[in-house]
């Protein structure tokens, strides 16, 4: 009997939906060659010569920090570099215990059924690294959460710096350039972080990134340069590839729902409306206070220091977290500035997003 051949009538626009997701790791990371080269060099020097170099990757949202770190881990595997690696998102795992557990899992440590105290866990990890002469790269993404966490103040980093330098390499990632300055002095000097800035993408760079992704994610002839260009232009105010991808994904869905064969410019505009609409969300009391304070400030902008002073009834860490949320959702923009030789952040209100 002839085998049944299933043929697809192509009606859809989206070919590989996961390629439009945030977590997707594309084959090529565009425009980050220098950063990848620097970091790969650091890893190789650590593995081959025990040279210890830890890094701090910073830059605004959607500029490829997480992608670059994940790509590095993938590359280390592909090139069979003799190093273990763990990626820890500190929003999800912000306690010392949960982070150490991830490291222990990676090292395939067998844990007693009775459970284990955090200090013992630390000891076991250290002995495993030393006795088996292993090296591990620990990536701490969204690291502000870990450092500012009330219960885990610096302690995972403290653990990591206490472990032998020839066994542990650390990459910290954050939106907040000033983050390392909040670290405990001993930890800071022991880590000796090398700062690596991820600059925001230009429109042209965004176009290329989105086009590459569209080729993977969408069927052929369902999009053209104009569509990609508009998605890039919308995202270019923030130089944010994630926003560009979100607009493209939404536009593809709109076109698909309307059973079109191609994404049109109008679909992109509708997608933009829809996405920005979603962002107009309900603010909680603290967020409202922050917004109101900035609204009445001179030029509708304020430094973090002034804001903390004005809202001194609110815990500084809570404020920091709320500010970060407001920046991530585009309600505020943040700029690093220097005041009296120190670093500070300047927040501005983006009233279109209210």
Measured from the CB atom, is 34 or 132 closer to ligand ATP? 34
- Given a contact cutoff of 8 angstroms between Cβ atoms, the answer to whether 247 and 223 are in contact is no
- Positions of E strands within 28-98: 55-58, 84-89
Contact status: 30 vs ligand ATP (CB under 6 A): yes
User: For residues 236-295, which are near ligand ATP according to CB under 6 A?
Assistant: 241-242, 245
Considering only 10, 11, 16, 22, the residue that binds ligand ATP (CB under 6 A) is 22
Binding of ligand ATP by 67 (CB under 6 A): yes
Pick from 53, 175, 190, 304: which binds ligand ATP (CB under 6 A)? 175
| Smallest separation, CB 345 to Mg ion (Å) | 18
87 binds ligand ATP (CB under 6 A): no
Q: Would you state the structure tokens that stand for residue 236, as one six-digit string?
A: 């270019």
CB 22 within 8 A of CB 242: yes
103 and 280 in contact (C-beta within 8 Å)? no
Between 126 and 325, CB nearer to ligand ATP? 325
Q: How many helices (H) and strands (E) does the chain have?
A: 14, 8
CB of 201 to ligand ATP, least distance (A): 7
Tell whether residue 139 is a contact of ligand ATP (CB under 6 A).
no
Considering only 52, 54, 60, 66, the residue that binds Mg ion (CB under 5 A) is 66
CA distance 254 to 270: 8
Q: Which DSSP state fits 19? A: G
> With binding defined as CB under 6 A, does residue 209 bind ligand ATP?
yes
Stretch that binds Mg ion, among 21-29, 62-70, 75-83, 152-160 (CB under 5 A): 62-70
Integer Cα distance of 209 and 97 in angstroms: 37
For position 39 contacting ligand ATP by CB under 6 A, the verdict is: no
By C-beta, is 180 or 229 nearer to Mg ion? 180
Contacts 24+ apart (CB under 8 A), 326-332: 326/287, 326/290, 326/291, 327/61, 327/175, 328/61, 328/175, 329/279, 329/281, 329/353, 330/238, 330/279, 331/279, 331/291, 332/290, 332/294
Contact between 75 and ligand ATP by CB under 6 A: the answer reads no
Map the footprint of Mg ion across residues 320-339, applying CB under 5 A: none
Q: With beta carbons less than 8 A apart as the criterion, state whether 200 and 240 touch.
A: yes
Cα radius of gyration (the chain) = 23
66 binds ligand ATP (CB under 6 A): yes
143 makes contact with ligand ATP (CB under 6 A): no
Q: Which residues bind Mg ion (CB under 5 A)?
A: 66
Q: Which residues bind ligand ATP (CB under 6 A)?
A: 22, 24, 26, 29-32, 61-67, 175, 209, 241-242, 245
């Amino acid at each position: 009997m002839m085998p049944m051949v299933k043929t697809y009538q192509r009606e859809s626009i989206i070919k590989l939906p996961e390629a439009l997701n945030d977590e997707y790791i594309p084959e090529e990371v565009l425009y980050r060659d220098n950063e990848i080269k620097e970091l790969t060099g650091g890893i190789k020097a650590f593995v081959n010569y025990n040279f210890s170099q830890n890094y701090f990757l910073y830059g605004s949202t959607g500029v490829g920090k997480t992608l670059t770190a994940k790509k590095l881990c993938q590359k280390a595997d592909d090139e069979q570099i003799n190093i273990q690696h763990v990626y820890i998102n500190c929003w999800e795992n912000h306690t010392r215990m949960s982070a150490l557990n991830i490291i222990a899992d990676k090292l395939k440590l067998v844990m007693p059924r009775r459970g284990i105290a955090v200090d013992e866990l630390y000891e076991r990890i250290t002995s495993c690294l030393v006795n088996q002469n292993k090296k591990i790269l620990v990536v701490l993404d969204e690291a502000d959460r870990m450092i500012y966490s009330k219960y885990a103040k610096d302690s995972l980093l403290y653990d990591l710096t206490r472990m032998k330098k020839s066994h542990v390499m650390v990459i910290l990632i954050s939106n907040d350039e000033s983050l390392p300055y909040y670290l405990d002095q001993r930890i800071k000097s022991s880590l000796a972080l090398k700062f690596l800035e991820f600059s925001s993408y230009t429109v042209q760079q965004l176009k290329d990134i989105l086009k590459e992704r569209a080729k993977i994610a969408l069927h052929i002839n369902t999009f053209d340069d104009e569509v990609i260009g508009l998605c890039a232009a919308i995202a270019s105010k923030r130089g944010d590839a994630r926003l560009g991808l979100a607009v493209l994904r939404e536009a593809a869905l709109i076109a698909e729902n309307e059973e079109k064969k191609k994404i049109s410019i109008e679909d992109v505009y509708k997608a933009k409306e829809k996405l920005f609409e979603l962002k107009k969300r309900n603010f909680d009391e603290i967020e409202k206070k922050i917004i109101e304070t900035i609204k009445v400030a001179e030029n509708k902008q304020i430094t973090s220091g002034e804001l903390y002073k004005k809202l001194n009834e609110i815990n500084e860490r809570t404020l920091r977290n709320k500010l970060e949320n407001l920046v991530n959702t585009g309600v505020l923009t943040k700029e690093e500035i220097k005041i009296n030789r120190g670093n500070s952040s300047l927040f501005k209100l983006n009233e279109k997003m209210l």
